[in-house]
Amino acid sequence: MKSPDDVDVDARFLLANERTLLAWVRTSLTLLAAGVGTLQLIEDEWRTGPGLGLLLLGAASAFVGLARYRSADAAIRRGQLPPAGLGPTAVAASVGVAAIALTALSVGSQLF
Protein backbone atom coordinates (compact mmCIF):
# COMPACT_ATOMS: atom_id res chain seq x y z
CA MET A 1 0.00 0.00 0.00
CA LYS A 2 1.29 3.47 -0.85
CA SER A 3 1.93 6.01 1.86
CA PRO A 4 0.31 9.47 1.51
CA ASP A 5 3.65 10.85 0.30
CA ASP A 6 3.84 8.29 -2.54
CA VAL A 7 0.57 9.41 -4.20
CA ASP A 8 1.12 11.25 -7.48
CA VAL A 9 -0.43 14.65 -6.69
CA ASP A 10 -0.72 17.58 -9.06
CA ALA A 11 1.44 20.32 -7.54
CA ARG A 12 -1.12 22.94 -8.59
CA PHE A 13 -3.54 21.64 -5.96
CA LEU A 14 -0.91 21.78 -3.24
CA LEU A 15 0.12 25.28 -4.24
CA ALA A 16 -3.50 26.43 -4.38
CA ASN A 17 -3.95 25.06 -0.87
CA GLU A 18 -0.93 27.07 0.30
CA ARG A 19 -2.33 30.23 -1.31
CA THR A 20 -5.59 29.61 0.51
CA LEU A 21 -3.69 29.33 3.80
CA LEU A 22 -1.98 32.65 3.03
CA ALA A 23 -5.40 34.22 2.44
CA TRP A 24 -6.48 33.02 5.88
CA VAL A 25 -3.30 34.47 7.39
CA ARG A 26 -3.92 37.81 5.63
CA THR A 27 -7.45 37.84 7.00
CA SER A 28 -6.12 37.07 10.45
CA LEU A 29 -3.55 39.87 10.28
CA THR A 30 -6.21 42.32 9.10
CA LEU A 31 -8.49 41.41 11.99
CA LEU A 32 -5.60 41.72 14.43
CA ALA A 33 -4.74 45.16 13.04
CA ALA A 34 -8.39 46.20 13.33
CA GLY A 35 -8.44 45.01 16.94
CA VAL A 36 -5.30 46.94 17.84
CA GLY A 37 -6.65 50.00 16.02
CA THR A 38 -9.93 49.76 17.87
CA LEU A 39 -8.19 49.52 21.23
CA GLN A 40 -5.74 52.34 20.51
CA LEU A 41 -7.65 54.82 18.38
CA ILE A 42 -11.26 54.82 19.52
CA GLU A 43 -11.73 57.14 22.45
CA ASP A 44 -14.68 55.46 24.09
CA GLU A 45 -15.11 53.39 27.22
CA TRP A 46 -16.85 50.66 25.19
CA ARG A 47 -13.88 49.96 22.88
CA THR A 48 -12.43 47.10 24.93
CA GLY A 49 -15.08 44.52 24.02
CA PRO A 50 -15.00 45.05 20.26
CA GLY A 51 -11.21 45.45 20.25
CA LEU A 52 -10.61 42.23 22.14
CA GLY A 53 -13.28 40.51 20.06
CA LEU A 54 -11.45 41.44 16.87
CA LEU A 55 -8.15 40.21 18.32
CA LEU A 56 -9.73 36.87 19.27
CA LEU A 57 -11.41 36.62 15.87
CA GLY A 58 -8.03 37.24 14.21
CA ALA A 59 -6.44 34.47 16.26
CA ALA A 60 -9.36 32.12 15.53
CA SER A 61 -9.07 32.88 11.82
CA ALA A 62 -5.41 31.87 11.84
CA PHE A 63 -6.17 28.60 13.62
CA VAL A 64 -9.15 27.79 11.37
CA GLY A 65 -6.99 28.47 8.31
CA LEU A 66 -4.25 26.20 9.58
CA ALA A 67 -6.70 23.40 10.40
CA ARG A 68 -8.30 23.69 6.94
CA TYR A 69 -4.87 23.72 5.28
CA ARG A 70 -3.79 20.53 7.05
CA SER A 71 -7.12 18.82 6.38
CA ALA A 72 -7.10 19.77 2.69
CA ASP A 73 -3.45 18.76 2.32
CA ALA A 74 -4.17 15.31 3.73
CA ALA A 75 -7.23 14.89 1.48
CA ILE A 76 -5.36 16.05 -1.63
CA ARG A 77 -2.54 13.61 -0.92
CA ARG A 78 -5.14 10.80 -0.60
CA GLY A 79 -6.62 11.82 -3.95
CA GLN A 80 -9.88 13.01 -2.38
CA LEU A 81 -11.75 16.28 -2.13
CA PRO A 82 -11.21 18.22 1.10
CA PRO A 83 -14.14 18.45 3.51
CA ALA A 84 -16.19 21.65 3.34
CA GLY A 85 -16.16 22.45 7.06
CA LEU A 86 -17.87 25.28 8.91
CA GLY A 87 -14.80 27.48 9.44
CA PRO A 88 -15.38 29.92 6.56
CA THR A 89 -19.04 30.38 7.50
CA ALA A 90 -18.19 30.95 11.17
CA VAL A 91 -15.45 33.48 10.40
CA ALA A 92 -17.57 35.32 7.82
CA ALA A 93 -20.56 35.51 10.19
CA SER A 94 -18.31 36.70 13.01
CA VAL A 95 -16.84 39.44 10.82
CA GLY A 96 -20.38 40.53 9.93
CA VAL A 97 -21.38 40.67 13.60
CA ALA A 98 -18.20 42.60 14.42
CA ALA A 99 -18.95 45.09 11.62
CA ILE A 100 -22.46 45.67 12.96
CA ALA A 101 -21.15 46.05 16.53
CA LEU A 102 -18.46 48.53 15.49
CA THR A 103 -20.97 50.49 13.40
CA ALA A 104 -23.36 50.67 16.36
CA LEU A 105 -20.49 51.73 18.62
CA SER A 106 -19.42 54.40 16.16
CA VAL A 107 -22.92 55.78 15.62
CA GLY A 108 -23.71 55.57 19.32
CA SER A 109 -20.61 57.54 20.30
CA GLN A 110 -21.46 60.29 17.78
CA LEU A 111 -25.00 60.65 19.12
CA PHE A 112 -23.92 61.29 22.67
- Is the pLDDT at 52 greater than 80? The verdict is yes
Whole-prediction pTM: 0.80
Average pLDDT of the segment spanning 47-66: 92
Residue 54: count of CB within 10 angstroms of its CB: 25
* Sequence-distant (≥ 6) Cβ neighbours of residue 52 within 8 angstroms: 35, 39
- Is the pLDDT at 4 greater than 70? The verdict is no
Pick from 35, 12, 36, 32: which is nearest to 24 by CA? 32
The predicted-structure confidence for 71-91, as pLDDT tens digits, reads as follows 999 999 999 999 888 999 999
